Amino acid sequence: MRKVPELSLRQFTHGDPSARAAFSQALSAGLRDYGFVVLVDHNVPVSLLDDAYAHAVEVFGLPEAEKRDYVGGLRGYTPFGTEHAKNNPTPDLKEFWQIGHEPEPGAPPNPFSAPNVWPTRPAGFRSVFERLFVALNDTGCVLLEALAPTLGLAPDYFEPLVRRGDSVLRVLHYPPIGKGADPGAVRSAAHEDINLITILVAARGAGLELLDRDGAWLPIVTEANALVVDSGDMMARLTNNVIPATTHRVVNSADSHLSRYSMPFFMHPTADTSLAALPSCIGDGALYPPITAGAFLAERLKEIGLKA
């Protein structure tokens, strides 16, 4: 049975040049073949991951009316049943909280940036998730540094595009599924991510599956403190499908009577970044028309119900 490759980030961050090159090739191969890799020996402290999940349980346990005080569009709380997959009008069975970069003073207007929305309780929520955002953003920058040479790019090619990009940390709660749930609804319907790469803190709860290259659904099972990395639509456009976006979903598994928590970090470049195919990937011609990351993001947010 095929299994998503497991890579040690320490091989890249602490290895000699040959070890770093081997990691880069393994990362590229995993994303090309599966669309996903599992990352261990990463730089996000386990204690921070544990604190984040504890705070997630508390914040989603708040009364519904209190949570709705923090509805903030692309920041803060998004109620249950709001988002749906592209081309699937049935809402997913989830609620979530979104965190991004704080806008820089004097920066030009950006429709994908806004001040973060923080709850008054649980205590420590802001501190924990600000630290987690920074740690995952750093990890994403390292991964793109490793990936760049395999695409014919300088190692620092992505850094200015993503360090202060439109990335979002989404704290997800899939509530227990009761008998009255829509039989056609799942926790997260089949979809591809919008962004360059996603770094997913291994979920507390089963159900994540990817659509393998043979058309079969492949469960992704990892250690509790591993990170799961996948490539999104922006990466597919940029690489002309050399690194494709891989369809995945969260099914209503056998433990769906329990809550499931998950924390994907969606790494986006700046809105003005061109997604035109890289010269090293263009081959016999570009598969997609040129578009900026901002225009593409706006289009996709409308398609999934998060933007009017």
For the chain, the C-alpha Rg in angstroms (whole number) is: 19
pLDDT in the model for residue 232: 97
pLDDT tens digit sequence for 184-229: 788 988 999 999 999 998 767 778 999 999 999 999 988 888 999 9
Q: Is residue 177 within 8 Å of residue 207, measured between CB atoms?
A: no
Lowest mean pLDDT among 84-98, 175-189, 228-242, 291-305: 175-189
pLDDT in the model for residue 224: 82
Q: What is the pLDDT confidence band of residue 8, given thresholds at 50, 70 and 90? A: very high
pLDDT in the model for residue 221: 84
Q: Stretch 101-127: mean pLDDT, rounded?
A: 93
Helix (H, G, I), strand (E, B) or coil at 306: coil
Q: Is residue 127 within 8 Å of residue 99, measured between CB atoms?
A: no
Lowest mean pLDDT among 29-43, 88-102, 175-189, 288-302: 175-189
Q: How far is CA 116 from CA 92, 110, 192, 209, in A?
A: 24, 14, 25, 31
pLDDT in the model for residue 253: 79
- Which string of b and e fits 126-162 if b means at least 16 CB within 10 Å? eebbeebbebbbebbbbbbbbbbbbbebeeebbeebb
Half-sphere exposure of 133 (CA within 13 A, CB side): 22
Pick the CATH number of 6-303 from 2.60.120.330, 3.30.1300.10, 3.40.50.10260, 3.30.1550.10: 2.60.120.330
Q: Is residue 135 within 8 Å of residue 44, measured between CB atoms?
A: yes
Q: Is the pLDDT of residue 183 over 80?
A: no
pLDDT in the model for residue 204: 73
Q: Alpha-carbon torsion 246, 251, 296, 116, what sign?
A: negative
Lowest mean pLDDT among 50-59, 79-88, 143-152: 79-88
pLDDT in the model for residue 286: 96
Q: How far is CA 225 from CA 5, 39, 40, 153, 172, in A?
A: 16, 9, 8, 31, 16
pLDDT in the model for residue 18: 98
Q: What is the pLDDT confidence band of residue 256, given thresholds at 50, 70 and 90? A: confident
Token duo for residue 248:
């995945």
pLDDT in the model for residue 13: 98
Q: Is the pLDDT of residue 287 over 80?
A: yes
pLDDT in the model for residue 1: 73
Token duo for residue 277:
């195919």
Q: Is residue 134 within 8 Å of residue 204, measured between CB atoms?
A: no
pLDDT in the model for residue 114: 92
Domain range list for the chain: 6-303
pLDDT in the model for residue 145: 98
Q: Stretch 265-271: mean pLDDT, rounded?
A: 97
